[in-house]
Structure 1
């Protein structure tokens, strides 16, 4: 299939005088997940992983992806004529470096500018122009090749009531306008879907796992223009948004209207979140303030009502996960189980919870050596049978009207070795020590990360991912700008100081290739601790309440303080979750949360 699609694309490239064409994974909004309409790279290449970039010229085609997908991409690209470029491997150029080297003076790079990040595209354009090469971004050549392309998603929009958010859309709009006033902006251009959903207190179902609505928004001092498919708005939604000053325009009209901005107006936008076509279509004489998106930090600091609702969501989620853990511990080795079937079973328990709206990301159920693949996702080809002789790593989450959950538990099934217990205990100590931090207001995530890694680093071990990410409120499970990392990563927007109301994941891990993986993740909320002559102090508190598997813990490797922390957490798990369980499940939970 890929050979035919690449051949057709080359014909279109020739017809449009394009020498190289780049196809990324993004939609028009930089979303983490994309709808079927936007799966151009997958359609053209046959590679279905969630990250990758395809570059096609007349004499070659290459697919860039990261280490999570080397094996999958190798299999799916076999026989396609597309070369695999393993990102991060020695001697493998970046897409940017490859294109700058490949294109010669007078040649042209093409891409759909609506799908490419503005910051990245302008850097590439600058380097190509230094060589005398050019960029065209107006042609979606894939659309000319993909004859039965799925339509844009058009799911109904719903309103999120103030009893869930604790703040009206009018108040949120007012707060953003205050920032515009301070920065001297007349218009604020917003294209990131979770920011629009947060600002207007709306939710939808246009992107898998993220309850957002395909739309763009331009906020003026007195006017709000929402670019959207109006068929998704019922009378109730329309009237509520109109009452807040919102006017509706066709989704695609955004790009034409941007070209007509009055040169007397100053535009505020965040080029790291906007696409290249939006920024390029703003008239050259219009002043543009490229600043951090003001809604990002506002959205990250949850209102007291949102925090309280998140506590409720996590009780429901904790009940579902505890019931699942009781089920798997009771039935492993007795009934057939696979990675896919246990993930479906857990979702079955979640669906019993009131106001459950679906999973917050694609579930990871990874047994034995599959657990060592950090972002493993079971397929029918890799779906491993689960027996009682290793670790099962389960990273899953749910969307509820009361909030978003994300939890990882590593479950000991059968005989676990002393080495496995040693490693599990080290990861557990990191999780408990991080959530126990008390700190001065103004600290960044980088200040805490050592707490999570100390026990592993003492053994010369580590994990190659961040320790935590921000989480949205019934929104995206991965949300900037709060997070935990041990070093600064320039492309990561995780530089905000912690504030009361921020929700973050706490998820240290360890991955031994070919053997097993361990990750233990709770969501934690930042709250005020105390204030004195030294300033304001903050602390973290757990939102997630599910036991850590004591079958995998070696108490002798924990200090008295660490054991006390685990016992206190488990006592709280039993107190909060047991009222919702039946008699058998309650007896099981009492044993799982026993003091050590």
Structure 2
């Protein structure tokens, strides 16, 4: 495919989504609304009521107010000063997107409420928040950090009040998965969930996470970008059928026919009254304090203060344990993706040394190779294609303003994934566009060694991702460097590319079990110079080392750039692993591609 032949991207757009010049006037309007509402500060989180990484345009309140478009963050707006709190992934992106004269950009840990909020509200003041956008756990955490300095008050969202052209809620078609794709009927999943409720002595649970609802009911939709979610809420009783609460316009005859008698449908406006009635009737309602909105908890307490039973979302763990059909689908998705990646990498190797290649072209080309398969329905996230210094921005998203031309000889970091009808993929490759320097090779090889250490790890049952995270970092630590993101995250089966409750980092304590799928993605980033990340997806399987032991099977099928390896740093077993991996890539993907790409693949996977 020649540069002039690359079709425009359909899954990803490149418009500039942030304008720092709009921040000040919107901040002024919000402060006037705060004054009228009698609050001294207001919280604006990135999350919507469903806690998804992707949110509908009408729920992108943090981006509307601050210009920051990252997938996590929180703004606090006081009467005279304001802050934008982000984690380490966004310390470069956030200052570039917001007006730093109006917002202090402050780095905090992931999944933590910032202690610094107190400094943005006067002593004895009132901090307002939208009870649909915060969880009980967050509010308790914040109350502890405010330590009596200020009080919290729930109220209607004040950003919505100043957003005149706020987009309407999405309405997209809903599809149901057959048992051949889901591996288990929704009736069976519901029965197993109800058995869990009985064991927990709960009369019902309220599900708010869209991946939990979609998995439980074997349904998918397109309510948010990149992830096949239907946005709604679901009450599952210990006995009887669940009720799915949706925007009224989503409740169609086609959806009723698809769900049949196993699920009742009701408009979202009836959710809170239904919860209050359940509680008033003496029912114990299980909610997840880490994901359920405060508004739902308060509705239960309004019926009966003793009704709320705090438990982790009961669907997340069963969903993480992929069944045979889901695993088969994920393997098929990775074979499809492996074909697209082989064609893309072969094209890149031919085009990059000639010059004239920019980041948008790289994104568009990769998407075109993925879309060549009829089962591709979306990217699993906006592709990260960082040329040279842009590769050091961990969650970089190219737009027409930031678009950078790749200089031959620079590194190109491409982190991407596809949503196929059979499954979800996520892969990062750092690619050479010409001879690399000794420092780049050293760092690339240390990252590769860490990725291989995870890939070859064997560990006893009960081991968590937190316990093995150091395996990936040790070789970078030996050189006095590290990376400030997790080594891996859980991945859903034709669901979210970032799926809890598992991962590989210090914050993931859930033990790994057979059937779980995670990313394995150590990296290194030199600000202003280059970024390196290598990522495969891995499946937890029983190990033949002994009973009660586990290991990983690699799912991703794409070459790792051998030209960036410092061979002197690799140990014999690491060479053996990489050669064996490349033989597998050639054997599985080689027969599926055209002769020209097959010839390139043979060179790219040749033994070290």
Deviation at 1:315, TM superposition (A): 0.4
1:504 aligned to 495, 518, 539, which one? 518
1:108 aligned to 103, 108, 126, which one? 126
- What do residues 36-78 of structure 1 show as CA deviations (whole Å, max 9, x unaligned)? 1112222233444443323233333333334544455445444
Q: Following superposition of structure 1 onto structure 2, how do residues 383-402 of structure 1 map, counting pairs within 5 Å?
A: 383-402=403-422
Work out whether 1:522 is the aligned partner of 2:540: no
- What do residues 97-148 of structure 1 show as CA deviations (whole Å, max 9, x unaligned)? 433773433x4221211012221113334665845x4332131222222122
Paired with 2:83 and 2:279, the residues of 1 have a C-alpha distance of: 42
Paired with 1:260 and 1:443, the residues of 2 have a C-alpha distance of: 42
Give the conservation status (yes or no) of the 8 Å contact 2:88–2:485. no
Deviation at 1:230, TM superposition (A): 4.4
1:99 aligned to 104, 115, 118, which one? 118
Consecutive unaligned residues in structure 1, runs of 5 or more? none
Paired with 1:127 and 1:328, the residues of 2 have a C-alpha distance of: 50
Task: Classify 1:450/1:147 alpha carbon distance in 2 versus 1 (closer, same or farther; 3 Å).
Answer: closer
Work out whether 1:201 is the aligned partner of 2:218: yes
Q: Secondary structure at the match of 2:319?
A: helix
Give the conservation status (yes or no) of the 8 Å contact 2:95–2:105. no
Q: Please report the RMSD computed on the Cα atoms of aligned residues, expressed in angstroms.
A: 2.2
Work out whether 1:538 is the aligned partner of 2:538: no
Work out whether 1:38 is the aligned partner of 2:70: no
Paired with 2:143 and 2:474, the residues of 1 have a C-alpha distance of: 43
Paired with 2:548 and 2:93, the residues of 1 have a C-alpha distance of: 49
Aligned to 2:562: 550
Task: Classify 1:242/1:74 alpha carbon distance in 2 versus 1 (closer, same or farther; 3 Å).
Answer: same
- What do residues 168-205 of structure 1 show as CA deviations (whole Å, max 9, x unaligned)? 11111111101100010001011011111111111111
Deviation at 1:423, TM superposition (A): 2.0
Paired with 1:222 and 1:349, the residues of 2 have a C-alpha distance of: 46
Task: Classify 1:87/1:460 alpha carbon distance in 2 versus 1 (closer, same or farther; 3 Å).
Answer: closer
Paired with 1:499 and 1:47, the residues of 2 have a C-alpha distance of: 36
Deviation at 1:236, TM superposition (A): 4.5
Paired with 1:154 and 1:74, the residues of 2 have a C-alpha distance of: 34
Q: Secondary structure at the match of 1:481?
A: strand
Deviation at 1:269, TM superposition (A): 1.2
Task: Classify 1:55/1:536 alpha carbon distance in 2 versus 1 (closer, same or farther; 3 Å).
Answer: closer
Work out whether 1:374 is the aligned partner of 2:368: no
Q: Secondary structure at the match of 2:170?
A: coil
Give the conservation status (yes or no) of the 8 Å contact 1:156–1:233. no
Task: Classify 1:440/1:55 alpha carbon distance in 2 versus 1 (closer, same or farther; 3 Å).
Answer: closer
Give the conservation status (yes or no) of the 8 Å contact 2:537–2:555. yes
- What do residues 385-435 of structure 1 show as CA deviations (whole Å, max 9, x unaligned)? 013212111100000111110000011111112332222222212212211
Q: Following superposition of structure 1 onto structure 2, how do residues 11-410 of structure 1 map, counting pairs within 5 Å?
A: 11-78=32-99, 82-88=102-108, 95-99=114-118, 102-105=121-124, 107-125=125-143, 130-131=148-149, 133-220=150-237, 221-244=239-262, 246-263=263-280, 264-283=282-301, 284-334=304-354, 336-410=356-430
Deviation at 1:287, TM superposition (A): 2.5
- What do residues 339-377 of structure 1 show as CA deviations (whole Å, max 9, x unaligned)? 121011101100012311110011111111222222222
Q: Secondary structure at the match of 2:297?
A: helix
Work out whether 1:9 is the aligned partner of 2:20: no
Work out whether 1:449 is the aligned partner of 2:469: yes
1:580 aligned to 575, 581, 592, which one? 592
Task: Classify 1:216/1:581 alpha carbon distance in 2 versus 1 (closer, same or farther; 3 Å).
Answer: same
Q: Decide which moves more: 150-159 or 319-328.
A: 150-159
Q: Secondary structure at the match of 1:333?
A: helix
Deviation at 1:271, TM superposition (A): 0.6
Task: Classify 1:353/1:193 alpha carbon distance in 2 versus 1 (closer, same or farther; 3 Å).
Answer: same
Q: Secondary structure at the match of 1:294?
A: coil
Paired with 2:204 and 2:108, the residues of 1 have a C-alpha distance of: 40
Q: Secondary structure at the match of 2:511?
A: coil
Give the conservation status (yes or no) of the 8 Å contact 2:353–2:409. no
Q: Decide which moves more: 231-240 or 441-450.
A: 231-240
Q: Secondary structure at the match of 1:282?
A: helix
Give the conservation status (yes or no) of the 8 Å contact 1:355–1:401. yes
Deviation at 1:594, TM superposition (A): 0.8
Consecutive unaligned residues in structure 2, runs of 5 or more? 1-21
Q: Aligned residue pairs: how many? A: 581
TM-score (normalised: structure 2): 0.91
Paired with 1:196 and 1:385, the residues of 2 have a C-alpha distance of: 43
Paired with 2:565 and 2:515, the residues of 1 have a C-alpha distance of: 32
Give the conservation status (yes or no) of the 8 Å contact 2:86–2:108. no
1:429 aligned to 439, 446, 449, which one? 449
Paired with 1:458 and 1:73, the residues of 2 have a C-alpha distance of: 31
Q: Secondary structure at the match of 1:399?
A: strand
Q: Secondary structure at the match of 2:315?
A: helix
